[in-house]
Amino acid sequence: MSKDLTVGREKFFRDPIGTRAVEDLFGVHVVDVRPPFDRGAICMAYLQQLREDGKIDLDWTEEYGEPGYANPELGIILSNWNYFPRWFGDALERAGYELEWSDEWTIDWDGQQKAYRTSPDSHSWEPSFIYTDDGILTRDDDHADVIDYCAIESAKDPIRCVPSWVTDEDMFGAGYEPDGSEYPYESGWHPGQDDDPKKIAERAFKFGAKKMVFRKVENSQFYARFEAWVQKEEEHEEA
């Protein structure tokens, strides 16, 4: 970091700020800020210059894709906030930005450019996207693509599981039906929670499944519940 930002938040928010004060405070010439000097704009301009100089990782986007988050007025900034004092972040938040940690969030640059959490914030959390060989598929993408990526055609294929935000309607629409199990399967620490997706797949293909998809039903601290959906071979009537 080019400058030790030791100035207190009280001084930053109280004192009038002019061009020279900005340069003295941050050690840079902030060219994108004009009077009256908005403190959030000053901080953002400083961040942008640090990024251009290759001194920090910084990403910005307009919207959250993660459920439960309201979109801020000026967007979301992802960075390592350990480099900055609390008052610096306060200035950005007062201006209308939301701050997130870059090692806990990602942005879907190849899609709708929304921000998604990558680290859990509870035992029941699950990602709003899945990683694929070509990038990520999010809950805003066509769920049929998510199902197709997670489908297997043999018990020897890598086992994947579609998230719970893929609905029954999505599964039926993709040509799948429940495998006939009365209750969701369970895998976990408690007695009896020993359902094995590999064995379930072997049984399904033995009895005529063409494709198969596992779907998550529930996450918890000590177990997970999931379903099995199958796509059967088409039956052709004899002439």
What tens digit of pLDDT does each residue of 201-212 get? 999 999 999 999
Structure tokens at 67: 């459920």
Cβ atoms 158, 152 nearer than 8 A: yes
Last residue of a domain, one of 107, 139, 165: 107
Q: Are residues 94 and 16 in the same domain?
A: yes
Q: How many CB atoms lie within 10 A of CB 129?
A: 23
Residue 33, domain member (yes or no): yes
- 92 and 151 share one domain: no
Classify residue 112: in a domain, yes or no.
Answer: no
**Dihedral through CA 192, CA 162, CA 79, CA 72, nearest 10?**
-110
For 203, the token pair is: 């049984």
92 vs 152: CA distance, rounded Å: 47
Residues 98 and 134 occupy one common structural domain: no
The two structure tokens encoding residue 163:
């998230």
Residues in the chain: 239
Query: Does residue 238 belong to any structural domain of this protein?
Result: no
- Contact 224/126 with Cβ under 8 angstroms? no
Residue 62: inside a domain, yes or no? yes
- 120 within some domain: no
| Same domain flag for 136 and 93 | no
The answer to whether residues 191 and 149 belong to one domain is yes
Separation of alpha carbons 111 and 60, rounded Å: 15
Determine the Cα angle at 193 with ends 188 and 195, to 5°.
Answer: 100
- For the chain, state the CA radius of gyration: 25
The domain boundary, picked from 74, 107, 140, lies at: 107
Dihedral, CA of residue 161, residue 167, residue 172 and residue 178, to nearest 10: 60
Domain, as residue range, for 190:
129-232
Q: Does residue 124 belong to any structural domain of this protein?
A: no
Both 97 and 48 in a single domain? yes
pLDDT tens for 35-90 read 455 677 778 878 887 888 787 888 999 999 999 999 999 999 999 998 887 878 88
Q: Are residues 73 and 160 in the same domain?
A: no
Count of structural domains, the chain:
2
pLDDT for residue 239 is more than 60: no
Mark whether 164 and 226 lie in a shared domain.
yes
Residue 164 and residue 94 share a domain: no
Q: What is the DSSP letter of 124?
A: T
What percent of the chain lies above the pLDDT cut of 70? 82
Residue 116 lies in a domain: no
Element (H, E) at 213: strand 209-219
Q: Which pLDDT score, from 0 to 100, does residue 235 have?
A: 56
pLDDT, tens digit, for every residue of 161-170?
A: 999 999 999 9
Cα separation values, 130 from 19, 65, 88, 105, 164, Å? 46, 13, 34, 14, 12
Regarding whether 152 and 103 lie in a shared domain, the answer is no
Residue 144 lies in a domain: yes
Query: pLDDT tens digit string along 175-224?
Result: 999 998 988 999 999 999 999 999 999 999 999 999 999 999 998 889 99
Q: Give yes or no: residues 50 and 144 share one domain.
A: no
Structural contact between residues 189 and 180, judged by C-beta atoms closer than 8 angstroms: no
* Cβ partners under 8 Å of residue 109, min gap 6: none
- Do 24 and 59 share a domain, yes or no? yes
What is residue 178's three-state secondary structure? strand
- Does the bond joining 127 to the residue before it have cis omega, within 30 degrees of 0? no
Give the model's confidence band at 144: pLDDT under 50 very low, under 70 low, under 90 confident, else very high. Answer: very high
